[in-house]
Structure 1
Amino acid sequence: MKKSLLVISFLLLMCSCGWAQSYDSLLTQLNNVLDKKQDYDAGKLNRIEQLKKELTNADNPDLNLKYRVFLNLYNEYKSFNYDEAFNYAQKLQQVGHLLNDPEKIAYSRIKLGFILLSSGMFKETFDSLKTVNVKLLDNEARKEYYYLTARTYYDLADFDKDNYYTPIYNSRAEKYIDSANSLSKSSSFEYIYYNGLKFLKSGSIDKAISNLKLLIDKYKLTDHQFAVTSSTLSDIYIRNNHPEKAIALLIQAAIADVKSSTKEAAAMTTLAQLLHQRGDVKNAYMYIKQAMNDAVYYGARQRKIQVGAILPIIAGEQISYVEQQRKVLFFYASLLTVLAIIVVVFAVIIYKQLQKLKLADKVILEANHNLQESINKLNEADKIKEEYIGYYFNLIAEYINKLDKFKRSVDNKLTTKRYDDIRLLVNNINLTKEREELFINFDKAFLKIFPNFVADYNALFCEENRVKLLPNQLLNTDLRIFALVRLGISDTEKIAHILEYSVNTIYNYKARIKGKSNISNDEFEHKIMAIKAI
């Protein structure tokens, strides 16, 4: 049994080395690019900062300037950070409505559709695209709409993988591609790429490969275009059992993604899977961790789930590989005991090797522990995000309804020239009551996520200094300050703005509260952050 284990381990090692040689130089390039990843991201963030300054530096920027800057910010964020891209897609719609420009509104909904599709939200994508009046769009925007709709149907077909629905979705996608191609030049990237995609989905593999290779070999593509084309071509090679070609393309696609600071990308994940299948566990583990970091940074839940499903498998293989190495070393140790003369020498060697293995085990266990903590934090963050997104959407909807009623009432009174009634209507607006209702709604939403917050907070104080709430009171100002801290809002200025206090007042509140607690001031907020959600 031990001999068989030794032979299998040796063969796996040799095969792994042989496979790695064919793309070793490309892996070296990828690793070098990953070392500079922060520099590429810094360049992206610098461009974003310059765009934001463009609005800040402008004197009373008009709505058209805002729309243009918001669109540029959306384009920077769309494959970089889901939440920010979604935010600017919403802002584009808001500015479009303020401009009363139907074309801009329609175009902003296309942009919203793209970011929703990137996060795997098919229903929401279709809902957004269905509201687009295509007749309002110019040719470029119309072409973008058709290509995006085609991609949505293709992605949905791939997601279903169903003998009934998949052909239907593929057929619809082809029709949209044909509509988009009728507006495109036959020599353009989009025309050739989407024709290749259509060939792929219809089973014309040779034509699909021809189109995609034409783009790679003959066209000067942007990093993002190259990554998309290479990833698509690699998928064909995977399906046709040519993993070496697929790996080479995926490495190049991953390099392009890193250079373009594209966080919403599947190339790194697929590359890790293929390397894992080929026995290159070390590189597979390194790249799947990179993919997880990008997925967490990008923030789309679907992407995190996809990568999270693969990472434990590869991490487990990494642990198994180390364990297998240990067994091989023990086998050698048992053989070496026969050689009495060199027992001491080999004993020292084995001891050193075991120390290295223990260190490796410790690193892996720490990595797994950190990974689990990251997953727990992500789950908690997702829950908080989901609860508060729903809470704020409901709250906004309520205020919109109130504004609508107010608008209709004012319109009626203006029509009937009852101006005194309008003044009375305005004077009846009770901002203090509205703010109190806002705090009550915040308290309810927060305590739904952290039902034990008040009890855990009071546990940090002696009996006489604990918070004693009034009947029907959910939170008071002291609790709200540190409720915001628990939600991740650590900036005192932001807390002051939310609670309608001065910054100095918030500082005084914090200092007074921490001074009464049973723990040091430095540890107080760490204890608050340790309070668990349900």
Structure 2
Amino acid sequence: MKVWILLGVMLVTGSAMARSTSDSLLVALNKVIERREEFTKPKLDRLEDLHRQLSGPNGRDDQFRFLVLQNLSDEYKAFIYDSAFANIQRLQLLARKIDDPVKIAYAKVKLGFILLSSGMFKETIDSLGGLQVRGLPDSIRVDYYSILARTYYDLGDFDRDGFYTPRYTAMGNKYVDSAKALCKPNDYNFLYLSGLKNLKNENTSEALNNLNELMGHYPLTPHQLAVTASTLSYFYISRDETDQAINLLARAAIADIQSATKETAAMWSLAELLYNNGDVKNAYTFIQQAMEDAIFYGARQRKVQVGSVLPVIAAAKVHNVDEQRRLWLIYSTALTVLAVLVIVFAVVIFKQLKKLKRTEKALMEANTIKEEYIGYYFNINSEYLGKIEAFKKAVEMKLITKKLEDIKFIVNNINVKKEREELYFSFDKVFLKLFPDFISVFNSYFKEEDRIVLKEGQLMNTELRIFALIRMGIHDTEKIAKILDYSINTIYNYKARVKGKSIIPNEKFEQKIMEIQTI
């Protein structure tokens, strides 16, 4: 009897400790989500540097271009699908041009990884099906077999069919064994593939030993930690050991954000698990982040997976009365503070205008005020459009919950595109009034055949607008992308193309832009 009591106490104590660890990890994850842009910036800097290298003098050398495109593909592969796919296509074309069988095989294998990450199983198998790997370096062969193993395992998970799933699992096992045969015993790939195979074949104790060995005794990179922890979490989910699964998925999600990984399953799996566990607040935060990542990356299967869970969690959040009251209190307070700030700001502006009328200030101060005003004016309008978009999404969410269907008519009448066009026109007009020589000075930085010729009715085009924002002091590429409603990669391409044509050295181009004077 005493033994049973002791075991009961140990189980309760262990469960309480696991929950405490889960709570701490969820708090840490929320903080990391708040800092996600900080973790994304180094990747964006690396991407910008790689794009700069491609457009530089060394970019004409095929071997150098292959190396840069290889690095670009690695940076993009778990970050943005479209960019990763485009760079892999360029890598394949260059490999064929160089006519190097190893490089051709390498590019094909990398394409397989991108296709699999986007949920394109058939395309992955078709892409890798005709590849002859005999004689290739072991590193390429390991990747080849590992990708095919994952493809067949994922197909089995997707189908969940009594007839086909065992066949897909058997195919996955075959490719895992081929990959393991090329790995060093007890290295990361060997242990992870062993754990994955054991897990898929329900050899739970062996899988647990393999994956715990990695988690406890290997110096894993953030990405390796995320993959290993996510895989291990499925073991605990299958055994209904929820707290352990939450701990692992939270660690995986933190590692994904810290490594700027957007193609990830940890965040949405964690959200679903927390929702089933009654933690709607955290579940809603994490499922929103999962959808943001899925949209950013462009993963088809991830959007479907997250989209199937998001409405359920959102509906639960809407029906949570206490949460609704808290939100309304926050919104009301925020609106009150905003109204007070607007009034204070209006009074300050009014007093400043009266003061300017009464006194004759130096023109240098007026120029500074004008520069600050246009930057402020444009950012305020951009934020206003962002609020319209957020309002539209919020209203459509209510429509999903079948609450206020009559709002849909109002929402559909919001023409964000028209608002943006008017905003751009206003910005162009005000900017050129303050910088009337901007276009002529800008064009003087190029040969005559490369100068910008505007269409009839245009005040500025996208290229001019990007560098007009830079002249206003907005140097952050991500902010420029948000203001102009382009992707970050598109802004990089615009900037690189303009600088590449200029007679000014690339590193001095933006400095010359900043030297353009106001009236």
TM-score by length of 2: 0.62
Deviations 1:493-533 (A, max 9, x none): xxxxxxxx986443434259xxxxxxxxxxxxxxxx9xxxx
Is the alpha carbon distance of 1:305 and 1:506 closer, same or farther for their aligned partners in structure 2, counting shifts above 3 Å? farther
Q: Is the 8 A contact 1:122 1:152 kept in 2?
A: yes
Structure 2 equivalent of residue 152 of structure 1: 151
Which of 1 and 2 has greater Rg? 1
Structure 1 equivalent of residue 454 of structure 2: 506
Deviations 1:266-302 (A, max 9, x none): 1010111111111111111111111111111111222
Counterpart secondary structure, 2:65? helix
- For 1:130 and 1:205, the matched residues in 2 are separated by 31
Match of 2:329 among 340, 356, 359: 356
Equivalent residue letter for 1:356: L
User: What do you get for the CA RMSD once the two structures are aligned?
Assistant: 3.4
Equivalent residue letter for 1:107: Y
Match of 1:370 among 376, 389, 393: 393
Structure 2 equivalent of residue 199 of structure 1: 198
Structure 1 equivalent of residue 348 of structure 2: none
- For 1:31 and 1:354, the matched residues in 2 are separated by 18
Is the alpha carbon distance of 1:355 and 1:187 closer, same or farther for their aligned partners in structure 2, counting shifts above 3 Å? closer
Structure 2 equivalent of residue 399 of structure 1: none
Q: Is the 8 A contact 1:102 1:136 kept in 2?
A: no
Is the alpha carbon distance of 1:299 and 1:503 closer, same or farther for their aligned partners in structure 2, counting shifts above 3 Å? farther
Q: Please state how far the C-alpha of 1:260 moved relative to its aligned partner.
A: 0.4
- For 2:160 and 2:327, the matched residues in 1 are separated by 48
Q: Please state how far the C-alpha of 1:59 moved relative to its aligned partner.
A: 3.7
Structure 2 equivalent of residue 279 of structure 1: 278
Q: Is the 8 A contact 2:19 2:243 kept in 1?
A: no
Within 5 A, what are the aligned runs for 1:476-495?
A: none
- For 2:171 and 2:264, the matched residues in 1 are separated by 25
Deviations 1:346-374 (A, max 9, x none): xxxxxxx89639859x9xx9967425779
Gaps of at least 5 residues in structure 2 are 1-15, 336-387, 400-416, 422-438, 440-448, 461-484, 486-519
Q: Is the 8 A contact 2:121 2:155 kept in 1?
A: yes
Q: Please state how far the C-alpha of 1:21 moved relative to its aligned partner.
A: 4.2
Q: Please state how far the C-alpha of 1:131 moved relative to its aligned partner.
A: 2.7
Q: Is the 8 A contact 2:53 2:59 kept in 1?
A: no
Equivalent residue letter for 1:510: Q
Bigger RCO (CA 8 Å, 6+ sep): 2
- For 1:261 and 1:272, the matched residues in 2 are separated by 19
Q: Is the 8 A contact 1:63 1:99 kept in 2?
A: yes
Q: Please state how far the C-alpha of 1:36 moved relative to its aligned partner.
A: 1.6
Determine whether 1:123 maps to 2:122.
yes
Gaps of at least 5 residues in structure 1 are 1-16, 327-352, 377-455, 461-491, 493-500, 513-528, 530-534
Q: Is the 8 A contact 1:117 1:125 kept in 2?
A: yes
Structure 2 equivalent of residue 254 of structure 1: 253
Structure 2 equivalent of residue 290 of structure 1: 289
Q: Is the 8 A contact 2:183 2:189 kept in 1?
A: yes
Is the alpha carbon distance of 1:511 and 1:220 closer, same or farther for their aligned partners in structure 2, counting shifts above 3 Å? closer
- For 2:157 and 2:74, the matched residues in 1 are separated by 26
Q: Is the 8 A contact 1:103 1:136 kept in 2?
A: no
Equivalent residue letter for 1:98: K
Is the alpha carbon distance of 1:368 and 1:226 closer, same or farther for their aligned partners in structure 2, counting shifts above 3 Å? farther
- For 1:368 and 1:286, the matched residues in 2 are separated by 18
Q: Please state how far the C-alpha of 1:62 moved relative to its aligned partner.
A: 1.5
Structure 1 equivalent of residue 168 of structure 2: 169
Q: Please state how far the C-alpha of 1:56 moved relative to its aligned partner.
A: 2.8
Q: Is the 8 A contact 1:79 1:262 kept in 2?
A: yes
- For 1:368 and 1:282, the matched residues in 2 are separated by 20
Is the alpha carbon distance of 1:358 and 1:101 closer, same or farther for their aligned partners in structure 2, counting shifts above 3 Å? closer
Is the alpha carbon distance of 1:111 and 1:510 closer, same or farther for their aligned partners in structure 2, counting shifts above 3 Å? same
Q: Is the 8 A contact 2:59 2:65 kept in 1?
A: no
- For 2:51 and 2:395, the matched residues in 1 are separated by 36
Determine whether 1:114 maps to 2:62.
no
Counterpart secondary structure, 2:184? coil
- For 1:73 and 1:316, the matched residues in 2 are separated by 40
Is the alpha carbon distance of 1:105 and 1:277 closer, same or farther for their aligned partners in structure 2, counting shifts above 3 Å? same
- For 2:95 and 2:398, the matched residues in 1 are separated by 38
Determine whether 1:69 maps to 2:68.
yes
Counterpart secondary structure, 1:84? helix
- For 1:286 and 1:198, the matched residues in 2 are separated by 33
Equivalent residue letter for 1:179: S
- For 1:268 and 1:107, the matched residues in 2 are separated by 30
- For 2:288 and 2:54, the matched residues in 1 are separated by 37
Q: Please state how far the C-alpha of 1:189 moved relative to its aligned partner.
A: 0.5
- For 2:208 and 2:120, the matched residues in 1 are separated by 29
Counterpart secondary structure, 1:143? helix
Counterpart secondary structure, 2:119? coil
Structure 2 equivalent of residue 395 of structure 1: none
Counterpart secondary structure, 1:184? coil
Deviations 1:158-213 (A, max 9, x none): 11111111111111111111111111001210100010111111111011011000
Q: Is the 8 A contact 2:145 2:179 kept in 1?
A: yes
Deviations 1:27-66 (A, max 9, x none): 1211221222101100111111222222333345311111
- For 1:508 and 1:502, the matched residues in 2 are separated by 18
Q: How many equivalent residue pairs?
A: 351
- For 1:374 and 1:507, the matched residues in 2 are separated by 41
- For 1:134 and 1:375, the matched residues in 2 are separated by 53
Q: Is the 8 A contact 1:106 1:131 kept in 2?
A: no
TM-score by length of 1: 0.60
Q: Please state how far the C-alpha of 1:375 moved relative to its aligned partner.
A: 13
Q: Is the 8 A contact 2:237 2:245 kept in 1?
A: yes
Equivalent residue letter for 1:237: Y
Q: Please state how far the C-alpha of 1:154 moved relative to its aligned partner.
A: 0.5
Determine whether 1:37 maps to 2:39.
no
Q: Is the 8 A contact 2:18 2:244 kept in 1?
A: no
Structure 2 equivalent of residue 310 of structure 1: 309
Deviations 1:403-441 (A, max 9, x none): xxxxxxxxxxxxxxxxxxxxxxxxxxxxxxxxxxxxxxx
Structure 1 equivalent of residue 4 of structure 2: none
- For 1:204 and 1:18, the matched residues in 2 are separated by 27
Structure 2 equivalent of residue 237 of structure 1: 236
Q: Please state how far the C-alpha of 1:323 moved relative to its aligned partner.
A: 6.9
Deviations 1:243-262 (A, max 9, x none): 00000111110000000000
Q: Please state how far the C-alpha of 1:322 moved relative to its aligned partner.
A: 2.1
Within 5 A, what are the aligned runs for 1:412-431?
A: none
Structure 1 equivalent of residue 361 of structure 2: none
Q: Please state how far the C-alpha of 1:136 moved relative to its aligned partner.
A: 4.7
